[in-house]
Amino acid sequence: MPLRNFIKNYTIAAVLAFISLACVASGGDYVPENNSPNVTTTSEVIVIGAGIAGLTAGYELQLKNIDFIILEATDRFGGRLKKDTEFTDVPIDLGAEWIHTASNPKELLASFISDKAAKDIDVELIKYLPTNEFKFKNTTWYDFVADNLAQAIAKNIIYNSPVTHINYSSDTVVVKAAERNYTAKKVLVTVPLGVLKAGIISFEPELSREKQDAIASIVFPQGLKAFLKFSSNFYPELYEDDIDNVNNGEVIEWTEYSYFDATLGKGSDENILGVLVVRTNDPLAQQQSDEVIVAQILEDLDQKFNGRATATFKAAIVENWTTNPYVRGTYSSPSFDKANYSSASEEEWEATNVALRESLAAPVNSKVYFAGEATSLTLGSSANEAALSAISALTSMGF
C-alpha cells in the first residue's frame, strides 16, 4: 500500500476517533457541586487537566486511596469532551464522539474503570460506519465520563487553575497555578498537545531536548466541529472531502472535511449533518467567525450536492477547538519529513511516529509523567486511548 494511502487510512480512523474526542450556545454540561473544594496545597499526586485522561487517573487514584488533586484550567471538566442538548432533539457531542474498537465496546469502556465490568456499563451503543466504530445512542461521551468518573471525584478537582510552571528540581514537585503553589511527590501532565506546543507551561529544569523535539514534531492540526440542520436529508451517512494546496508536487496546505449523519440510529426527527474540519495551521483561519466557517462548509457541500445545502440550510452550531486557549487544535496526527515522505516505507513511518510518542510519554526523573491521546503508541488519537494512557502512566508511577 502506498504510504500516502496508509496515512489517509490512519487519518480516517483518527478523525472518527475524535468525532468519537458556536452559532448557538452549547448546553448540557454537568455543573460541579463544588467549584472551590477545600483541599490542602500538598498531596501525593497532582494531575494537571480534567479531560478524560486526567479524570481516569483521578478515579483510579481514589480507588487506590492515594491522595491527589486535579488542577483544571477552565471552569468545567471534560477537556475535548463536550455536549450540546439545545441544538436538536438528541444530545450531540461537540468533541470526541466515536468509540473505536474491533471488540466489545463495553469491554473497552470498562477497561479504564477498574472497579466495573462490561456488564456494569449501563449505556446503549449503536454500530456506525465504517466497521469497528460505535457511538452512544441516547447519550454522549461527555455524559459517560460525567456519570462514571467525574462525579465520583468532584471534590478533588480545582477549577479555574491554569498551570504555568512545574519545578521538579528538588525532592518534591512544585506546581504553580493561578498564582498559587501546590506540591506533590509526583505530577501527571494530561493537557492537550497544543498546550505543550504553545509553551504555556514552563518546566524547571527544562525538559530534555528529546522530549522537546517530540512535542514539536508530533502534528496537532487546527480544526473544529460543526453541526448543520437542514430541512431535508440530501447527504450520505459518511463521506470525506480533501482540499489540497499543491506546489511542485508537494502538499503544502490541506483541509479535510469529514461529514457524517449525526442523528443516524438515534431516533431523531431532524436532519443534522455533522462535520469535522481539520487543516494545516493557518493563522488567518484562526480568526474566522462561526458565520464564515459555516459559509465555507455550505460552499463545499453545494459543490458536491448541486446547491442543495444552501437551499435547505436552517441553522448551525460550531465548536472551534483551535481558538480554545487550553486545547489549541484537534487531535495528534502522525508526523513525517516532507523531504523523505515519498521514499519512506510504512514500517519506517510508523516506527518514527511511535518513537516520538514514546519520548513524549517518558517520565522525567520519576517525578513528572505524561498522559493523553498524543502519548498513545497505537497512534489512535481517541478518547479511549487517552483514558488508557492514564492507566499506563499510573502503572509507571508504581500505582
CATH number at residue 25: 3.50.50.60
**Amino acid (1-letter code) at residue 322:** T
Please give the backbone phi and psi of residue 365, each rounded to the nearest 5 degrees, phi first. Answer: 55, 30
CB 145 within 8 A of CB 59: no
pLDDT at 347: 81
- pLDDT (mean) for 311-319: 98
Last-in-domain residue among 302, 320, 338: 320
Ranking 29-38, 110-119, 160-169, 204-213 by mean pLDDT, the lowest is 29-38
Q: With the C-alpha atoms ordered 237, 381, 116, 74, is the resulting torsion angle positive or negative?
A: negative
In a domain, 192, yes or no: yes
Statement: residue 318 has pLDDT above 90:
yes
Report the Cα–Cα distance between both ends of the chain, in Å, rounded. 42
Number of domains, the chain: 2
Say whether pLDDT at 358 is over 80: yes
Same domain, yes or no: 176 and 69: yes
Same domain, 31 and 77: yes
**One domain, residues 171 and 229:** no
Q: Which of 1-10, 176-185, 191-200, 350-359 has the lowest mean pLDDT?
A: 1-10
**Among 5-19, 106-120, 157-171, 372-386, which is the least confidently predicted range?**
5-19
Q: What pLDDT, on the 0 to 100 scale, is given for residue 27?
A: 46
**Domain boundary pick from 320, 337, 364:** 320
In-domain check, residue 93: no
- Res. 287 pLDDT band, cuts 50 70 90: confident
Mean per-residue pLDDT, 160-187: 97
- Separation of alpha carbons 18 and 11, rounded Å: 10
Is 103 contained in some domain?
A: no
Task: Please tell me whether residues 160 and 39 are part of one structural domain.
Answer: yes
Q: What percent of the chain has pLDDT over 90?
A: 65
Tell me: do 72 and 173 sit in the same domain.
yes
Examine the pLDDT at 352 and tell me if it is beyond 70: yes
Same domain as 187, residue 237: no
Residue 46 within any structural domain of the chain = yes
- Whether residue 99 lies inside any domain: the answer is no
Q: Looking at the structure, do residues 177 and 277 belong to the same domain, yes or no?
A: no
- Interval 243-248 mean pLDDT: 66
Q: Is residue 336 one of the residues assigned to a domain?
A: no
For 330, residues 6+ apart whose C-beta sits below 8 A from its C-beta are 18, 21, 220, 221, 222, 223, 224, 276, 278, 321, 322
Neighbours of 164 (CB within 10 A): 14
Among 103-117, 122-136, 257-271, 368-382, name the one with the lowest average pLDDT: 122-136
Do 186 and 252 reside in the same domain of the chain?
no
Residues 357 and 307 in one domain: no
pLDDT for residue 66:
98
Q: Is the pLDDT of residue 16 over 70?
A: no
| Residue 243 falls inside a structural domain | yes
Q: What percent of the chain has pLDDT over 70?
A: 83
Q: Which three cell numbers stand for residue 190?
A: 494530561
Of 148-162, 223-237, 331-345, the least confident = 331-345
Please tell me whether residues 77 and 162 are part of one structural domain.
Answer: yes
**3 state SS of 312:** helix
Give the other-Cβ count within 10 Å of 251's Cβ: 14
**pLDDT over threshold 60, residue 24:** no
> What is the average pLDDT across 193-208?
98
Residue 198 lies in a domain: yes
324 to 51, 184, 242, 369, 374: CA distances (angstroms): 14, 28, 24, 24, 18
Which residue range is the domain that position 201 belongs to? Answer: 13-82+137-217+348-396
Highest-confidence range of 79-93, 242-256, 323-337, by mean pLDDT? 79-93
Question: Among candidates 69, 182, 36, 62, which has minimal Cα distance to 114?
Answer: 62
Predicted TM-score (pTM) of the model is 0.88
Q: How confident is the model at residue 342 (pLDDT cuts 50, 70, 90)?
A: low
Tell whether the model's pLDDT for residue 275 goes beyond 80.
yes
167 and 231 both lie in a single domain:
no
Q: Which carries the bigger pLDDT value, residue 21 or residue 325?
A: 325
Q: Say if residues 274 and 262 touch (Cβ distance below 8 Å).
A: yes
pLDDT over threshold 70, residue 355: yes
pLDDT surpassing 90 at residue 2: no
The rounded mean pLDDT for the chain is: 87
Q: Are residues 315 and 379 in the same domain?
A: no
**DSSP code of residue 34:** -
Residue 5 has pLDDT above 70, yes or no: no
pLDDT over 70 at 341, yes or no:
no
Nearest C-alpha neighbor of 3 from the set 257, 280, 335: 335
Q: How far apart are CA 244 and CA 47, in angstroms?
A: 39
Highest-confidence range of 33-42, 107-116, 159-168, 377-386, by mean pLDDT?
A: 159-168
